[in-house]
Amino acid sequence: MRFDKKDILDMEGLSVEEIELILDTAESLKEISTRAIKKVPTLRGKTVVHFFYEPSTRTRTSFEIAAKRLSADTVSLSASTSSMVKGETLVDTARNLEAMNPDAIILRHNAAGAPHMIARLVQASVVNAGDGMHAHPTQALLDMMTVREKKGRLSGLRIAIIGDIAHSRVARSNTVGFVKMGAHVVLAGPPTMIPKGIETLGAPVTYHIQEAVKGADVIMVLRIQKERQRPFLFPSEREYAQCYGLTTESLAGAKDDVLIMHPGPMNRGVEIAPEVADGPFSVILEQVANGVALRMAILYLLLGGPR
């Protein structure tokens, strides 16, 4: 199958076949990262711009390593080091980057829709590395890769996503992606953190985490996003931990081989107890490892072939 997408902006824009192709490609590229010389020449002569308008550790490092392992030249920009601090608009910044003829722009931005706007303006491939509360497709894909690797399938699995659904792009992209692949997704969190109409994405909602955990094959815990918090969503971190935090006790109803996932960064002791995060069911660091392979696959599929 040929992959002829220009951009990767959200999970709605990918078909089942395209998702499978991305996951298969990622699996085959994973081995490169285990070699003594972790580099292949595949994207030699290609230029990838990493433009992170919002802070990021994992995603940014992951994309940079992925591009370098494929021998692409990489340039890294952040809001504080770009002319955006001088008042340049995103549109102008994008046009200027485009003038230097990059092959891909990896964009993280705090405004939903920013990558979509840029994608319409530039010839380069645009990969959404997280836009506001909207989408984080490469995170969803690496989560799907991790689950498929462990469980051998996605279809029919019961996936519980717990926490601040309202402010989470990870929740939205994972819900759309897993539902598309035939999994049963349940969303759980306090009512103040459940956005209106989210069930129309095909995932039922519960306000009780025990209900979501019950029989779950996978539990994804979302971060309490301190930087995006609005007032009055919950009384205290203490109460949040008690009522909605994933602990050894609240894990009780899940399947025996449940996977515990977290997109990071974690607030230990708030949404997830340390013993769960570091416990036997946790695949949190494997998610990070797969992130590199997944992003190599994305870059390879976007830039590797003729377009």
Which uninterrupted H or E stretch holds 220?
Answer: strand 218-221
CB 301 within 8 A of CB 277: no
Nearest-CA neighbor of 186 among 253, 231, 110, 242? 253
Q: Catalytic residue at 226?
A: no
Q: Catalytic residue at 167?
A: no
**Residues 300, 32: Cα–Cα separation, whole Å:** 13
- How does DSSP classify residue 222? P
For residue 236, what are the β-bridge partners?
Answer: none
Candidates 2, 86, 226, 230; catalytic one: 86
Q: Please, what is the minimum distance in Å from the beta carbon of residue 280 to another protein?
A: 34
Q: Please, what is the minimum distance in Å from the beta carbon of residue 64 to another protein?
A: 24
**Residues 121, 115: Cα–Cα separation, whole Å:** 10
Q: Please, what is the minimum distance in Å from the beta carbon of residue 166 to another protein?
A: 8
CB neighbour burial string for 155-166, b if at least 16 within 10 angstroms, e if fewer: eebbbbbbbbbb
Candidates 136, 167, 172, 223; catalytic one: 136
Candidates 59, 138, 146, 175; catalytic one: 59
Candidates 58, 68, 95, 255; catalytic one: 58
Q: Catalytic residue at 108?
A: yes
Torsion sign (Cα): 297, 299, 304, 307: positive
Secondary structure class of 135 (helix, strand, coil): strand
**Residues 151, 106: Cα–Cα separation, whole Å:** 30
Q: Catalytic residue at 86?
A: yes
Q: Please, what is the minimum distance in Å from the beta carbon of residue 207 to another protein?
A: 17
CB nearer to another protein: give 71 or 110.
110
Candidates 108, 169, 180, 184; catalytic one: 108
Owner of token pair 């992209």: 173
**Residues 290, 296: Cα–Cα separation, whole Å:** 10
Residues that bind another protein (CB under 8 A): 89-91, 109-114, 116-117, 131-135, 169, 172, 195-198, 200-201, 230
Q: How many residues does the chain have?
A: 307
Q: Give the contacts of 256 (CB within 8 A, at least 6 positions apart).
A: none
Q: Please, what is the minimum distance in Å from the beta carbon of residue 193 to another protein?
A: 12
CB nearer to another protein: give 135 or 259.
135
Query: What are the start-end ranges of the E strands in 38-162?
Result: 47-52, 73-78, 104-109, 125-131, 158-162
CB nearer to another protein: give 109 or 262.
109
CB nearer to another protein: give 160 or 165.
165
**Residues 42, 279: Cα–Cα separation, whole Å:** 38
Q: Please, what is the minimum distance in Å from the beta carbon of residue 303 to another protein?
A: 26
CB nearer to another protein: give 199 or 275.
199
Owner of token pair 């209106």: 196
CB nearer to another protein: give 41 or 87.
87
Residues acting as catalytic residues: 58-59, 86, 108, 136
